[in-house]
Amino acid sequence: MELTFLGTSAGTPTRARNVTGLALQHGGPRHWYLVDCGEGTQHQLLRTRLSVMQLQAIFVTHVHGDHTFGLPGLLSSASMNGRTTPLPIIGPPQLRNFLEITLASTDSRLGFELQFINAEADDFHWQDDAVGVTSIPLSHRVPCRAFRFDELRVERKLLTSKLEADGVPAGPEWGRIQKGEDVTLPDGRYIASKDYTEIPRPPRRVVIAGDNDTPELLAGACREAHLLVHEATYTRNVAERVGPWPQHSSAEQVALFAQAIGLPHLVLTHFSSRYQFQAGRGPVIDELAGEASAFYDGNLVLARDFMQLRLNRDLSLEALDA
């Protein structure tokens, strides 16, 4: 499972950071999902290997413009580039009205179908061959969701010594048993796959949250999660100066939550545009890292645009070269 951060700024873009967009790859390099789509997401994609032709679904946490204004352009460009495959758009129900009216009033006709799916429905669940996705309500100025991605197909390990001990001859049957298939041997014996295989590791589980002032709402969803991507719009002192109205989290809040639940990997993103990479012109992103690491002992990462992270099968998190 690979994450590519396409934008890490809150509200407005800066020269170094775009507004929110996050690509999640799983099931091969040409199989990816987009979570949120701020203005300029399609421009960011031009600097990656990801193509809208292979995009499997778009997930939208909430309607705010810094998470949605890139949708009409990305969809139009996909169409102009020849996409015909239907595209699920999974998010708040208002998205449908926004997109349909935007596309109609700008004479933008898509060459593929948009399949709108309400992520706020009580029974929301989505899956394809590679992942199952659920949504978790958060606390923000508008309805907002986190999405939990669960890996669906964990490769089974064949218990070869047990097969040999029971006299199941090596051959094509072993391959079928490993793939989860029950087989009947030539001698009439029924071999159930589950008796001769084991699942050697937990399925990977990643939670990607939208804007949220109450990280604790994710306690249930983060149980057995390996990685949480969460906003940390401010440091605590800036959050106190700004006041509660924007309904964002501070780095301290998210770190305390991640520590309390024993989360292995925490990635912070969605930093207020006031935070700079370099000292000299206002607060720096290092202040957010410093604050979070004071409260969280796990693996802390502060996202930056075009950062690529891979959650390996052994559940280690690896930064890839851009």
Selected catalytic residue, list 36, 66, 213, 305: 66
- Under the binding rule (CB under 8 A), the answer on residue 94 touching a second copy is yes
Site string for a second copy, 136-175 (x = CB under 8 A): -----xx---------------------------------
- Under the binding rule (CB under 8 A), the answer on residue 274 touching a second copy is no
Given candidates 49, 53, 80, 262, which one binds a second copy under the rule CB under 8 A?
80
308 has which bridge partners?
A: 4, 320
Report which DSSP code applies to 285: H
Q: Could you give the strand order of the β-sheet that contains 205-209, starting from the edge strand earlier in sequence?
A: 126-127, 131-137, 145-151, 205-209, 227-231, 265-269, 299-302
- Under the binding rule (CB under 8 A), the answer on residue 91 touching a second copy is no
User: Residue 312 region, left (φ>0) first, then alpha (ψ -120 to 50), else beta?
Assistant: beta
- Under the binding rule (CB under 8 A), the answer on residue 65 touching a second copy is yes
**Parallel, antiparallel or unpaired: strands 32-37 and 21-25:** antiparallel
**CA torsion, ordered 82, 86, 87, 89, to nearest 10 deg:** 130
What residue has token string 């939670």? 207
**Parallel, antiparallel or unpaired: strands 32-37 and 183-184:** unpaired
Report which DSSP code applies to 96: H
Active site residue 66: yes
Q: What's the closest the beta carbon of residue 172 comes to a second copy, in angstroms?
A: 46
CB-wise, 47 or 125, nearer to a second copy?
Answer: 47
Helix (H) or strand (E) holding 37: strand 32-37
CB-wise, 72 or 88, nearer to a second copy?
Answer: 72
CB-wise, 59 or 98, nearer to a second copy?
Answer: 98
Site string for a second copy, 218-247 (x = CB under 8 A): ------------------------------
Binding site for a second copy (CB under 8 A): 11-15, 18-19, 38-40, 42-43, 46-47, 63-66, 68-70, 72-73, 76-77, 80-81, 94, 97-98, 101-102, 105-108, 141-142
